[in-house]
């Protein structure tokens, strides 16, 4: 178990559904030589136990594919705890995970969503050219503007 003060990157998606694999591809692109204070986790979807996981970190990034195309090809936005309701408890949004971490574990890690634009989500392995291009931009931004900060 990691101590307080570390960063968790959670890649969300499914590499068998084309650009839905962007979250995982982002983690892969960072390579194995990450700073020791950074951990990565791969998820098909967020579940309630992830509230317990993030309660051990100071900062969390949720990295996921974004269905809409953005001018930069990606976006980063701060994420806050929020109670949401859904028919399913198998796929919870980041806001609900943060809400549970805050209320059940009394932890409120600084959190961000990194959304990377994709364009196709069919049953196929491999990102589209657009998604690949957007992935590279997101990785570059993350490594130069966020990690170095």
Applying CB under 8 A, which residues contact another protein? 1, 44, 48-49, 51-52, 83, 85, 87-90, 92, 96, 99-100, 103-105
Nearer to another protein, 76 or 91 (CB): 91
**Cα torsion at 79, 82, 84, 88 (round to 10°)?**
60
List CB contacts of 36: < 8 A, sequence separation 6 or more.
none
Minimum Å distance from CB 66 to another protein?
20
Minimum Å distance from CB 46 to another protein?
12
Minimum Å distance from CB 53 to another protein?
8
How far is Cα of residue 29 from the mean position of the Cα atoms in its chain?
14
Nearer to another protein, 93 or 119 (CB): 93
Nearer to another protein, 43 or 118 (CB): 43
Nearer to another protein, 33 or 49 (CB): 49
Q: What are phi and psi of 42, to 5 degrees?
A: -100, 135
- What b/e readout covers 39-55, taking b as 16+ CB neighbours within 10 angstroms? bbeebbebeeebbebbb
Minimum Å distance from CB 37 to another protein?
18
């Amino acid at each position: 178990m990691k101590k307080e003060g570390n960063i968790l990157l959670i890649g969300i998606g499914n590499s068998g559904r084309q650009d839905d694999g962007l979250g995982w591809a982002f983690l892969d692109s960072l390579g194995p030589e990450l700073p020791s204070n950074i951990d990565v986790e791969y998820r098909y979807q967020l579940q309630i136990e992830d509230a317990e996981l993030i309660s051990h970190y100071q900062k969390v990034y949720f990295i996921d594919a974004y269905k809409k195309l953005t001018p930069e090809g990606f976006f980063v936005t701060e994420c806050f705890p929020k109670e949401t309701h859904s028919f399913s408890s198998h796929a919870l949004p980041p806001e609900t995970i943060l809400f549970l971490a805050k209320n059940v574990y009394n932890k409120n890690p600084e959190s961000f969503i990194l959304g990377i634009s994709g364009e196709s989500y069919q049953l196929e392995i491999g990102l589209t050219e657009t998604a690949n291009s957007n992935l590279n931009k997101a990785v570059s931004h993350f490594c130069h503007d966020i990690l170095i900060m």
